[in-house]
């Protein structure tokens, strides 16, 4: 169990398309999938409301994170800004 790969290559997109799409969603959003897998995931998202919803949520979540990072997408800057925001919030509510 502990040494199981993150993405199980044995999952067949034909017999279990939802699990397949779900497992590749992050890579799909990152554009890391091969064209074949991308096409498979896209085809499934077009036909499955459940997975399309999960995908829409991930997209919104990612754009919100980018928005919170000032649109830079930089992890370091994101952490700094997040920390600054936290400090400001804490000051606002009188924690510091």
Which stretches of the chain bind Zn ion, using CB under 5 A? 18, 48, 50-51
Cβ of residue 31: shortest distance to Zn ion, in angstroms?
20
Smallest distance, Zn ion to C-beta of residue 92, A: 43
**Cβ-based nearer residue to Zn ion, 37 or 48:** 48
Pick between residue 54 and residue 78 the one whose CB is nearest to Zn ion.
54
CB of 21 to Zn ion, least distance (A): 5
**50 vs 77 by CB, closer to Zn ion:** 50
* Residues 6+ positions from 46 with CB-CB distance below 8 Å: 52
Pairs from 54-61 (Cβ < 8 Å, separation ≥ 24): 54/22, 54/25, 55/25, 55/28, 55/29, 58/25, 58/26, 58/29, 59/29
């Amino acid at each position: 169990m502990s040494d199981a790969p993150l993405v199980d290559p044995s999952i067949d997109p034909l017999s279990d398309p939802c699990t397949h799409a779900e497992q590749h969603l992050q890579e799909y959003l990152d554009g890391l999938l091969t064209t074949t897998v991308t096409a498979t995931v896209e085809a499934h998202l077009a036909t499955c409301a459940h997975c399309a919803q999960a995908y829409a949520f991930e997209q919104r979540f990612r754009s919100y994170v980018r928005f919170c990072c000032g649109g830079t997408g930089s992890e370091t800057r994101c952490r700094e800004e997040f920390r600054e925001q936290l400090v400001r919030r804490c000051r606002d509510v009188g924690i510091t």
